Chains A and B, each alone.
Chain A
Amino acid sequence: MIDPGVLTLVERKLYALPNAYALDGRVSTHPAHVRGFASMNCYVILERGRALLIDTGFSVHEQQLLTQLRSIVDPTTPLTIWLTRVGEYNSVCNVVPIAERFNVTKLIAAVPEPERWVDFRPRGRGDAAARRLDLFAGVETELVRPGAVVTLGPRHTRQLRAIPAPLRLLPTCWIYDVDTTTLFTSDAFTHTWRGDADGPWLIGDRGRDPTDQHAVWDYLTHSRFWWLRDAYTAPLREELANTFATHPVTTIAPAFGCILQGTRVVERHRMMLDSLLWSAPQPPRAHAEQTIAVTR
């Protein structure tokens, strides 16, 4: 039975595993002044006895995540983990606990040897390097850069395309699932959150979309996209337009924040982002906050 915390995005094909965390001024994902809750999202793609997990969330969600994962993936099923941002904890915290309990056969990332990035949680004394060698012995790794196609299933029937991320902070790619027309946008389109820890974590064509354009701009420029305040955004808009022109999208699946499902809601948020980027350029500004002088 599927855990009630799991969101079915496409029956038997694609599931979201959202877990809530408080926006309390202590998180890097949102502006310090924002209050409410966001979901940290991992995604499971299923294809004929194979499974692929995109990202692994924060440590604090370990137990919920394992329960969610167990409810849709048998521990013997070959499982690939695709880490979209090895430089950020919310991508990598639960790789080790998952690898200890599931049949992880492959790690995918934009760096070689991704297993070197994932074992940092205090787990008693001992040699972390030796433990890592033991846990990931026999696990294949795949270095994936934009342009690559990852296949899933015994006949490689499911195609996941790694595409350049037009809007991002750190090295990452977006992933396009051809079968379900889902675009996994990593740290972009992460601009929706809720007042309640229970969500809901999906915004669809039929439900109310509370997203406000001014709030999105505030979110972007007071979080990881602070640099948009001064950015030359024409290339970003062009790449964003090309991405959506060449990939029909019915679901936007961000690493955190509400999932956007339905052609109308997808188009609304694409246009909102484009419009904000169009109006973005500002005079140069080098300081994040006030200038602090330390006396000589």
Chain B
Amino acid sequence: MSAVSSATQRRLPRELASGIFWLGGCLQVNHADQPLHVSHSAYLVCGETCSALVDAGHPQDVDLIEAQLGGLLRNGAPQLRYLFATHTETPHTGAIGRLLGRYPDSIACGEVSDLHLVFPEFADRMRRLRPGDSLDLGGTTLAVLEAVVRDYDHTRWAFDTRRRVLFPGDGFAYSHYHDVDQCAKVAEEVPELDLPDMTALFAELALYWTRFADLEPYVSRLETLLFDELAVDVVAPTHGLPITDPEATFSRVRSGLVRPDDR
């Protein structure tokens, strides 16, 4: 079994909005004897003067991310300056050490806890960013936000102000089916995907704390952030398929997070 599906390899990188590219691969997980795929995505955000990579893929995809990114940069993407980590779990920063080595003008930034202990050779190229900070990419800004749905407390989300793309890390996480060709497609291209169920399943398996919390305040906060504060056009999560019509799709995510049988 190849963990990175051929469909994913064929379709990614994919341009989600002008100058914003979806990279990465899928990891197969088995649940109740069903093979499911979970995206482990990274996104290249291009400005006029430089680029930022948001998250850096799963450790199994180090070669893949390096190749995808190298191709985009060779084809004219501005120089890579920022490796933005939403948080430092291995599936979010797998290639960050390799990329710091390959691109000596880049820095790791965002929620970079522990990385100086993981990659001590690059300890002087790490910068912690706080909500309210921003990265100027030229013609656009990557704004740093507090995370709403998260596991590590100080997880950061990012928002591209020109193309209005939200990068919510572990938010909007849900699996998909490889064998019916859902890999590397956006949510709106797979209307048959049971998004509420897949969202609930991911939360149950990966976000343990959600079993003990009232998620309604979190979902309300998400709603406010998406529609009132940011007017998001595209949601680009690390573990879910990107969402290109948040107005239409958000209600399905909401019903996955707040189930009727919730406490």
Q: Is the CB of B118 within 8 A of A118?
A: no
Q: Is B221 an interface residue (CB 8 A)?
A: yes
Q: With an 8 A cutoff between CB atoms, is A279 at the interface?
A: no
A59 x B118 contact (CB < 8 A)? yes
Task: Pick the residue among B121, B150, B152, B217 that contacts A122 (CB under 8 A).
Answer: B121
B150-195 interface (Cβ within 8 A of A): 150-155, 159, 161
Complex: how many Å from CA A117 to CA B40?
12
A293 touches B63 (CB 8 A): no
Which A residues are in CB contact (< 8 Å) with B118? Answer: 58-60, 89, 93, 121
Within 8 A of A (CB), among B1-37: 3, 27, 29-30
Chain A at the B interface: SS class: loop
Contact with A along B52-70 (1 / 0, CB 8 A): 0000001110110000000
**Cβ of B97 and Cβ of A121 under 8 Å apart?**
yes
Could you tell me the distance between the alpha carbons of A86 and B60 in the complex, rounded to whole angstroms? 12
Q: Are A290 and B97 in contact (CB under 8 A)?
A: no
Contact pick for A224, options B112, B152, B212, CB 8 Å:
B152
Instruction: Please tell me which one of the listed residues B112, B113, B119, B130 contacts residue A121 in the complex, with CB atoms under 8 A apart.
Output: B119
Judge whether B90 and A170 touch: CB under 8 Å: no
Q: Mark A117-145, 1 if CB is under 8 A from B, else 0.
A: 11111100001110000000000000000
Query: In the bound complex, do residue A119 and residue B62 qualify as a contact, i.e. CB atoms below 8 Å apart?
Result: yes
Chain B contacts for A208, CB-based, 8 A: none
Residues of A within 8 A of B117 (CB): 21, 27, 58-61, 89-90
Give the Cβ gap from B69 to chain A, nearest Cβ, in Å. Answer: 15
A222 nearest in chain B by CB position: B153
The answer to whether B88 and A120 touch across the interface, beta carbons within 8 angstroms, is: no
Name the distance in Å between A283's Cβ and chain B's nearest Cβ: 9
Residue of B nearest to A29 (CB): B114
Bound-state Cα–Cα, A78 to B131, Å: 48
Chain A: number of interface residues, binned into ranges: 35 or more
With a CB–CB cut-off of 8 A, which chain B residues contact A232?
Answer: 212-214, 263
How many B residues touch A, CB cutoff 8 Å?
Answer: 63
How far apart sit A167 and B98, CA to CA, in the bound complex (Å)?
A: 34
Contacts of A92 in B (CB 8 A): 90
CB closest chain-B residue, reference A165: B208
A246 at interface by CB-CB < 8 Å: no
A30 to B83 alpha-carbon distance, docked (Å): 24
- Chain A CB within 8 A of B205 CB: yes
Chain B residue at smallest Cβ distance from A117: B59
- Chain A residue at smallest Cβ distance from B92: A87
**Residues A288 and B150 in contact, CB atoms below 8 Å apart:** yes
Contacts of B60 in A (CB 8 A): 116-117, 129
Q: Annotate B206-230 by CB proximity to A: 1 below 8 A, 0 otherwise.
A: 1011011110111011000000011
A50 adjacent to chain B (CB < 8 Å): no
A226 near B213 (CB under 8 angstroms)?
no
> Is B212's CB under 8 angstroms from A231's CB?
yes
The A254-296 residues at the B interface (CB cut-off 8 A) are 284-294, 296
A102 proximal to B (CB < 8 A): no
Residues B148 and A286 in contact, CB atoms below 8 Å apart: yes
Q: Cα distance A90–B152 when bound, in Å?
A: 14
Interchain CB contact (< 8 A) of A288 among B30, B59, B128, B147: B147
From A32, which residue of chain B is reached at the shortest CB distance?
B154
Q: How far is the CA of A118 from the CA of B154 in the complex (A)?
A: 24
Contacts of B147 in A (CB 8 A): 288
Q: A148 CA to B231 CA in the complex, in Å?
A: 48
Q: In the complex, what's the smallest C-beta–C-beta distance from B162 to chain A, in angstroms? A: 12
> In the complex, what distance in Å separates the CA atom of A223 from the CA atom of B87?
13
A170-B89 in contact (CB<8A): yes
Give every chain B residue within 8 A of A29 (Cβ-Cβ): 114
**Is residue B145 within 8 Å, beta carbon to beta carbon, of the partner chain?**
yes
Cα–Cα distance between A260 and B180 once the two chains are bound (Å):
51
Q: How far is the CB of B92 from chain A (nearest CB, A)?
A: 9
| Residues of chain A lying within 8 A (CB to CB) of residue B89 | 87-88, 170
Instruction: Say yes or no: A86 contacts B114, CB within 8 Å.
Output: no
Q: Is B91 part of the binding interface, using a Cβ–Cβ cutoff of 8 Å?
A: yes
The chain A residue sitting closest to B90, CB to CB, is A87
Q: B221 — which chain A residues lie within 8 A by C-beta?
A: 286-287
Q: Report whether B208 and A169 are in contact in the complex, using a CB–CB cutoff of 8 Å.
A: yes
Q: Is A58 in contact with B131, judged by CB distance below 8 angstroms?
A: no
For this complex, 19 residue pairs linking A to B, each with C-beta atoms less than 8 Å apart, are A21-B117, A26-B112, A26-B128, A27-B114, A27-B117, A29-B114, A59-B119, A60-B118, A89-B114, A89-B117, A122-B98, A122-B101, A128-B98, A129-B60, A170-B89, A231-B209, A232-B213, A286-B218, A288-B147
Interface residues of B (CB under 8 A from A): 3, 27, 29-30, 58-60, 62-63, 87-91, 94-95, 97-98, 100-101, 112-114, 116-121, 128, 130-132, 143, 145-148, 150-155, 159, 161, 205-206, 208-209, 211-214, 216-218, 220-221, 229-231, 263
* Chain A residues within CB distance 8 Å of chain B: 21, 26-29, 32, 58-61, 86-90, 92-93, 111-113, 116-122, 127-129, 168-171, 222-224, 226-227, 230-233, 235-236, 284-294, 296
